[in-house]
Amino acid sequence: MNKLRARARLFASPLPVKILNSISLLPSCLKGCCYHLYIKREISIMKIVRHPHIVRLHEVLASRTKIYIILEFVSGGELYDKIVLQKKLPEIESRRYFHQLIDAVAHCHSKGVYHRDLKPENLLLDDDGNLKVSDFGLSALSQQGVDLLHTTCGTPNYVAPEVLSGQGYDGAAADIWSCGVILYVLMAGYLPFSETDLPTLNMKINAAEYSCPYWFSPGAKSLIEKILDPNPKTRIRIEEIRKDPWFRRNYVPAKLGEDEEVNLDDVRAVFDDIEDEYVADQSEKNDDGPLIMNAFEMITLSQGLNLSPLFDRRQDYIKRQTRFVSRRPANFIMSSIEAVAETMGLNVHTRNFKTRLERRTGHRVAQFAAVLEIYEVAPSLFMVDVRKAAGDTLEYHKFYKNFCAKLENIIWKPSESVGN
């Protein structure tokens, strides 16, 4: 599923309320028209679910090769980063975020939308510290006459046991399980289910085998126990969560505006307009070298109009997507990446100037994966874009630091002369 997802480019506009995402229509992970369908579904869902605690999609535009989506500007970063920084959050603060999460998820379900990838990395914070649910790339829409979903997706540590079983599941109950894991992580600072191999992890999730730290209050423990019920039929529902005494403490429901009529005509028009142009563009694509990145695309990768993080890794706070610059030839960069990856025990899959690095434990699903792609940003200047594709974000942080340390000989630093 992740192979079919769009690559988002963030551009902070002069207006403090918006960011502009451009989704490149490149065929490296394309399987026929499915690529367009998945992107179209995600954009449509974001227009349908309008709520104070969900990242708002304002408009959809298109050029010949890209789709641009104008989103609400959420500047506070990921909730995950706050947990990493503070180790764990106080119960009163955790409960406030949980209030907002449940309100957002309840709204999604009322619109027939199931997120299916709820985790702290997909929960953003605004300037006022309010939670905003994002990343609907794995979400599903309910279909008339279809009661159960069947696609196994999401992040294993947050996924409900019935999703792992592959026997069909209720999307609402599965999202509630993920909310329970998030509440546990907020208060504990670590996962309730965390194993190095998938079979053991699945076994513990199926048995709901976990224990709460001593600092959890009896009310929090009781609610988490009702949420992390491995039987989806007896698992607590959102309306029951809202009646729970621990949940109701200081609970102020989100204020919803009038239910706006959602018009998806612009989404349909965008995809109708780009289809023919996209096919023609791909037939002319040259695979002899890295993709060439223009000035606007470089800016969209930066923090607003500040390009320094692209060239000075000391300013580049490690996120799920990171990058470095090199003046070495593209083929040399790629061979160096492959060699370093092999010394780190990673499986390497290269096509043209894009590489996927994976760590497996003898099973089909990669425990950890990163994707690297080389772009030419100027003559003899290349940017390597690195993204987490699977696994825990903290593990990706460690991987990126270690990986770059082993590639110091090819990474260009601003202090170096142009001739170096």
Question: Would you kindly state where each structural domain of the chain is located, as residue ranges?
Answer: 1-73+256-285, 79-248, 288-412
Range with lowest mean pLDDT among 157-166, 223-232, 252-261, 387-396:
252-261
- Residues 151-176: what's their mean pLDDT? 84
- Measured CA to CA, the distance from residue 377 to residue 384 in angstroms comes to 10
Confidence of residue 317 (pLDDT cuts 50, 70, 90): very low
Checking if the pLDDT of 145 tops 60, the result is no
CATH class of 1-73+256-285: alpha beta
CA neighbor of 43 nearest in space, from 257, 261, 255, 262: 262
In whole angstroms, what is the distance from residue 353 CA to residue 334 CA?
7
> Quick check: 84 pLDDT over 70?
yes
> Is 117 noted as a catalytic residue in this protein?
yes
* pLDDT higher at 16 or 224: 224
Asked if residue 338 lies in contact with residue 410, where contact means CB atoms within 8 angstroms, the answer is no
Q: φ and ψ at 70, to 5 degrees?
A: -95, 115
Of 340, 325, 287, 306, nearest to 414 by C-alpha is: 325
Interval 215-265: pLDDT, tens: 999 999 999 999 999 999 999 999 999 999 999 999 999 887 666 666 666
Q: Write down the pLDDT at residue 91.
A: 96
CB 324 within 8 A of CB 313: yes
Q: Are 329 and 343 spatial neighbours (Cβ–Cβ below 8 Å)?
A: no
Q: Which two tokens stand for residue 77?
A: 């970063």
End-to-end alpha carbon distance in the chain: 41
pLDDT, average across residues 275-303: 52
pLDDT at position 190 is: 92
Of 204, 242, 250, 214, the closest CA to residue 226 belongs to: 242
Query: What's the rounded mean pLDDT across residues 33-57?
Result: 75
pLDDT value at position 8? Answer: 33
Mean pLDDT score, 380-406? 85
CA 175-181-182 angle, to 5 degrees, is 90
pLDDT at 272 over 80: no
From the list 117, 170, 229, 392, the catalytic residue is 117
Burial label for 149, CB within 10 Å (0-12, 13-18, 19+), is buried
Nearest partner of 204 among 161, 153, 152, judged by Cα: 161
Angle formed by the axes of helices 218-227 and 171-188, to 10°?
Answer: 150
Let me know: does 139 contact 201? Beta carbons within 8 Å.
no
pLDDT tier at 332, thresholds 50, 70, 90: very high
**pLDDT confidence of residue 390:** 80
Higher-confidence residue of 358 and 247: namely: 247
Question: How far apart are the C-alpha atoms of 19 and 32, rounded to whole Å?
Answer: 29
**pLDDT, position 316:** 43
Percent of the chain with pLDDT over 90: 32
Confidence of residue 57 (pLDDT cuts 50, 70, 90): confident
What is the reported pLDDT for 50?
Answer: 86
Question: Using 50, 70 and 90 to split pLDDT, how confident is the model at 29?
Answer: very low
Provide mean pLDDT across the span 45-68.
79
Q: Which residue has the tokens 């995950």?
A: 80
Q: Report in angstroms the alpha-carbon separations of 378 from 11, 57, 124, 226, 319.
A: 20, 33, 34, 56, 25
The per-residue pLDDT of the chain, averaged, comes to: 76
Question: Which of 199-203, 235-239, 274-278 bottoms out in mean pLDDT, i.e. has the lowest?
Answer: 274-278
CATH architecture of the domain with residue range 288-412: 2-Layer Sandwich (3.30)
Q: Looking at residue 263, what is its pLDDT?
A: 61
The percentage of the chain sitting over the pLDDT mark of 70, rounded to a whole number, equals 68
Which range among 8-12, 118-122, 150-154 shows the weakest confidence by mean pLDDT?
8-12
pLDDT the model gives residue 7: 31
Residue type at 400?
A: Y
Give burial (CB, 10 Å; 0-12/13-18/19+) of 276. Answer: exposed
Question: Which of 57-61, 158-162, 267-271, 410-414 has maximum average pLDDT?
Answer: 158-162
Q: Can you give the pLDDT at residue 181?
A: 96
Bigger pLDDT: 382 or 299? Answer: 382
Give Cα separations from 30 to 221, 235, 351, 399 (angstroms).
Answer: 45, 38, 13, 27
pLDDT tens digits along 169-187: 888 999 999 999 999 999 9
* pLDDT over threshold 70, residue 363: no
Residue 130: partners with Cβ closer than 8 Å, 6 or more residues away: 52, 53, 100
Q: Answer whether residue 417 shows pLDDT above 70.
A: no
CA distance linking residue 215 with residue 235, whole number of Å: 24
Residue 44 has pLDDT above 80, yes or no: no
pLDDT for res 149: 66
Q: Is the pLDDT of residue 6 over 80?
A: no
Distance CA 128, CA 18 (A): 16
**Average pLDDT for 22-47:** 54
**Structure-token match 């579904």, residue found:** 41
Q: Contact at 8 Å (CB) between 281 and 64?
A: yes
Which CATH number is 79-248 given?
1.10.510.10
